[in-house]
Every structure is written in structure tokens, then in C-alpha cells.
């Protein structure tokens, strides 16, 4: 096989999905809702399929179905406070995942350094490596807290350590805001710190904002592309799947300056070329409706985070009652729990690289019927061991699913 894929064959999602399919589990593992997308986007999808316009079932423009790139330009123009050109500053991709892939392939060259903030969505490391880049990691550190629940805001970057990670070879910083798996929502001040370093060192920023609408407790989601000097160096990535609770549709996008986006288009046209037309049409109609009711109570972008905040609190309470410690997330789909207090004496594994959280999750799936994700997969080899006492739960689930999880957690032994 080609050298570029050496060592990249192991994948947590493949592993966990397989294990989950072999056992009866309450699945709080992989991040997807087990509830339906809103009726208006499902109806738009069906309308597209049944449309008199036979072209709805055929190829559309390769870089994005015109109605979708037009509404993305309009919507993000408003969010980012600038005019966005639908044709050369927006690219529609097969999920946010493909947008990430296009960025790494298009912008990262052999030997380029890519700064990744830990814990991180696992594919950034593999995608950087596949492009020949060298990932450079910086962990968010939990600060000591007593007398209250720890939140994702208590995990912080050390400004001096971050500044030290920038070298002449740094090509890009990868930001995931709100973050998966921690749920951290970066403050304006934290983003300014990152932005100032990007500007100073002339570095790109890949800002993965797939959970942009899922921010809780009245926190503000600040888009790094709006900070001074950042539009011209930022690619903002989003997901129709996360936005409309339809992860199986795999519609994503990249938005950024044309001098960068043109290179992402080159990768897209030489790999995927085209995304499903009807799914793009449905996401376009969904965004059109949401733009009309932006900020109003009837907006899905208001009702979904309200629902999810309630679910987050419910799961956090179940977890804490079981003697584990929730780190309350400020945003996103996930909650990580500190399992130190309940460490089981788990047998040594045949795989010497297997950490406590890996073993615990396997035991939970096979013996307790509850699936979660070991948090060490969201860390580099050098820092994994320090964070092996955390596991990640997805709370974008029906209340009945959360009730089942609660019952299992009550019997946590
Ligand atoms: N980025 C992050 C942080 C994610 O958690 C995910 C998984 N949903 C993706 C990107 C990929 O999104 P999509 O399903 O739209 O490809
Ligand atoms: N983003 C989702 C998660 O973190 C799904 C990951 C995937 O399917 N690669 O669980």
C-alpha cells in the first residue's frame, strides 16, 4: 500500500460501531441523534425526490447545488458580517468530514506543522498525517475546582505554551468550537489569543464549527473568522447533518476566502466531485426557513439547543448519581465523565496499548449494555495516558434512551 496510509488503519468509529452491532446496547457512543430531523427538512427532501423538476434526481453543480451555496452565502454573510460570494467562497462537501479532508489535502504539505488542540476530533491527526503534515499537540488543561461541578470552561489553554507551538513550519491551527468531545465553547478572549498568533505567524485556521447552534446556558458562539485579520486565513466548516439532526444525509460545507477555497475545490473535484442533490436541496430549504426566523422562538436553532440542554442536565445528573463526575459541557452533543472514583480492577489486555478507558468501554458494552467512547482516542500518543480516566457520552438522544442509560448507571458496579 501507499506510504501515506501507513499506520492509519485503526479507527475507533469502525471498532465501536462493530462492537455495538454485536451487543444489545443503549448507544450513547457515536455522535448522532436517535430522534428525527424536523418535519420541514424531511418534507423538503421528499419534495425534492418527487419534484416535477427531474433534475432534482440528477447531478447538480459539483461545488455545490446553486440553491444551497446561495443560502449558505447569505446566511454566513449575516453571521460573519460580510458579503460572501456563493460561487467562490463556499464549497459543499460530503459532510463536514470531506470539508476537513479537502482542507488538509489542499493546504498541508510534506513537513508542514499543524497545531491541534487536545482533546480533538480524532480524524484531524490522521488527515494531517495523510497529507504529509506533522501534528503538534497542545492539551487544554483542567484547572483545579472545588465545591461545584467542573465545566468545560474550566479546561484552558496555557497562552505561553500555545505561543511556543508556533514555528516557521506551522501551516495551520485546527480549532473545534464548540469542541468534540469536551463541549468547550471558546471565549472571545481565547479566540483572540489564537487569532493574534495566526496573524503574527501568517498561519491558516481550520475552524470546525459543526456544533455551532448547540451552545447552552446563554453562552455566545463566537466565530473566529469574524476576528480582525482572520477572514482571509480561516476556513469555517459546518454540517447540515449536525445542524438539522440528519447526520446520515452527509451534507457539509467549507466557507472561506477565495484564494484558499479554490484549492479545496481542486481536491473536491479530483475525489468526490459531487454530493447528493436532493439532500442539498433539503438543507438549502431548511436554512432558508431558519434564516427567516433567526433568533425567534419558532427557530429550530433555538428549540434544539433548549432540548439538548435539558438532556445534558439529565444525563449529567444520572452520571453523578452513579459516582462518576460529569464535566458539564457548554456546547455540542457530548459530555465527558471522570471515572477515577470508580476504577474497576480490569484484567490486563493482550494489547499493551489499551488504556483504562478502552477497557472500561469494552466492558460497558459487552457486560453492562451501555456504549460510550474512551476519551483517550481524542488525544495524541504522547498525552493519552494522562486522560485515560474519562469516557464520552452522547446526550443527543430520546428521553426514553436516556432513561434506559440512567437505569444502567444506577447499577454501576
Ligand atoms: N467535525 C466534528 C467535530 C464532528 O464531531 C463530526 C462528526 N459529526 C464531523 C466534523 C463530521 O461531520 P459530518 O457528519 O457532517 O461529516
Ligand atoms: N462526530 C461523531 C462523533 O464524534 C461521529 C464520528 C464519526 O462517525 N466519525 O461521535
User: Does 413 have pLDDT greater than 70?
Assistant: no
pLDDT in tens, 30-48: 999 999 999 999 999 999 9
With a 6 Å cutoff on the Cβ, whether 127 touches ligand 1 is no
Q: Tell me, what's the pLDDT at 54?
A: 77
Residue 210 CA, closest ligand 2 atom number: 1
Listing DSSP states for 219-233 in one string gives -----GGGSTTTGGG
User: Does 282 have pLDDT greater than 90?
Assistant: yes
Averaged pLDDT, 104-116? 98
Percent helix, percent strand, percent coil in the chain, to nearest 5: 45, 15, 40
Contact call for residues 393 and 315 (beta carbons, < 8 A): yes
With a 6 Å cutoff on the Cβ, whether 33 touches ligand 2 is no
Q: In which residue are the cell numbers 483542567 written?
A: 142
* Cell numbers linked to 27: 448507544
With a 6 Å cutoff on the Cβ, whether 120 touches ligand 1 is no
Instruction: Please name the residues in contact with 301: beta carbons below 8 A apart, sequence gap of 6 or more.
Output: 213, 243, 290, 294
pTM of the model: 0.97
Q: Hey, how many other C-beta atoms are within 10 angstroms of the C-beta on 295?
A: 7
User: Does 350 have pLDDT greater than 80?
Assistant: no
With a 6 Å cutoff on the Cβ, whether 40 touches ligand 2 is no
Lowest mean pLDDT among 238-242, 308-312, 358-362: 358-362
Share of the chain above pLDDT 70, in %: 100
Contact call for residues 396 and 31 (beta carbons, < 8 A): yes
pLDDT in tens, 375-404: 999 999 999 999 999 999 999 999 999 999
Q: How confident is the model at residue 148 (pLDDT cuts 50, 70, 90)?
A: very high
Contact call for residues 187 and 219 (beta carbons, < 8 A): no
Q: Which ligand has the nearest atom to the CA of 242?
A: 1
User: Does 212 have pLDDT greater than 90?
Assistant: yes
Averaged pLDDT, 258-263? 98
Amino acid at each position: 500500500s501507499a506510504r501515506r496510509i501507513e499506520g492509519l488503519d485503526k479507527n475507533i468509529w469502525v471498532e465501536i460501531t462493530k462492537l455495538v452491532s454485536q451487543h444489545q446496547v443503549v448507544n450513547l457512543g457515536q455522535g448522532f441523534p436517535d430522534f428525527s430531523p424536523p418535519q420541514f427538512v424531511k418534507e423538503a427532501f421528499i419534495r425534492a425526490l418527487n419534484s416535477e423538476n427531474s433534475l432534482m434526481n440528477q447531478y447538480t453543480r459539483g461545488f455545490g447545488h446553486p440553491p444551497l451555496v446561495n443560502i449558505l452565502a447569505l446566511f454566513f454573510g449575516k453571521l460573519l458580517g460580510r458579503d460572501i460570494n456563493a460561487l467562490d467562497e463556499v464549497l459543499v462537501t460530503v459532510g463536514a468530514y470531506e470539508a476537513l479532508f479537502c482542507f488538509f489535502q489542499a493546504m498541508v504539505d510534506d513537513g508542514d506543522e499543524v497545531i491541534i488542540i487536545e482533546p480533538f476530533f480524532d480524524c484531524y491527526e490522521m488527515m494531517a498525517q495523510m497529507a504529509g503534515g506533522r501534528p503538534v499537540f497542545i492539551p487544554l488543561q483542567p484547572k483545579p475546582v472545588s465545591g461545584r461541578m467542573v465545566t468545560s470552561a474550566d479546561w484552558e489553554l496555557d497562552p505561553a505554551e500555545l505561543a511556543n507551538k508556533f514555528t516557521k513550519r506551522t501551516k495551520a491551527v485546527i480549532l473545534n468550537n464548540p469542541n468534540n468531545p469536551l463541549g468547550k465553547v471558546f471565549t472571545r478572549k481565547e479566540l483572540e489569543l489564537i487569532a493574534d498568533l495566526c496573524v503574527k505567524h501568517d498561519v491558516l485556521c481550520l475552524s470546525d464549527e459543526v456544533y455551532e447552534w448547540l451552545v447552552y446556558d446563554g453562552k455566545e458562539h463566537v466565530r473566529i473568522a469574524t476576528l480582525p485579520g482572520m477572514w482571509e486565513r480561516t476556513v469555517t466548516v459546518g454540517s447540515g447533518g449536525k445542524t438539522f439532526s440528519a447526520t446520515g444525509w452527509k451534507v457539509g460545507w467549507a466557507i472561506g476566502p477565495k484564494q484558499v477555497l479554490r484549492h479545496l475545490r481542486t481536491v473536491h473535484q479530483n475525489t468526490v466531485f459531487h454530493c447528493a442533490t436532493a439532500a442539498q436541496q433539503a438543507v438549502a430549504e431548511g436554512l432558508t426557513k431558519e434564516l427567516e426566523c433567526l433568533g425567534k422562538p419558532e427557530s429550530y436553532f433555538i428549540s434544539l439547543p433548549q432540548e439538548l440542554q435539558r438532556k445534558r442536565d439529565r444525563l449529567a445528573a444520572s452520571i453523578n448519581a452513579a459516582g462518576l463526575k460529569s464535566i458539564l459541557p457548554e456546547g455540542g452533543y457530548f459530555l465527558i465523565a471522570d471515572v477515577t472514583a470508580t476504577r474497576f480492577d480490569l484484567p490486563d489486555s493482550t494489547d499493551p496499548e489499551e488504556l483504562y478507558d478502552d477497557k472500561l468501554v469494552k466492558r460497558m458494552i459487552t457486560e453492562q449494555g451501555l456504549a460510550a467512547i474512551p476519551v483517550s482516542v481524542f488525544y495524541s500518543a504522547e498525552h493519552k495516558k494522562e486522560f485515560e480516566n474519562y469516557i464520552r457520552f452522547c446526550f443527543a438522544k430520546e428521553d426514553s434512551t436516556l432513561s434506559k442509560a440512567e437505569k444502567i448507571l444506577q447499577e454501576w458496579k
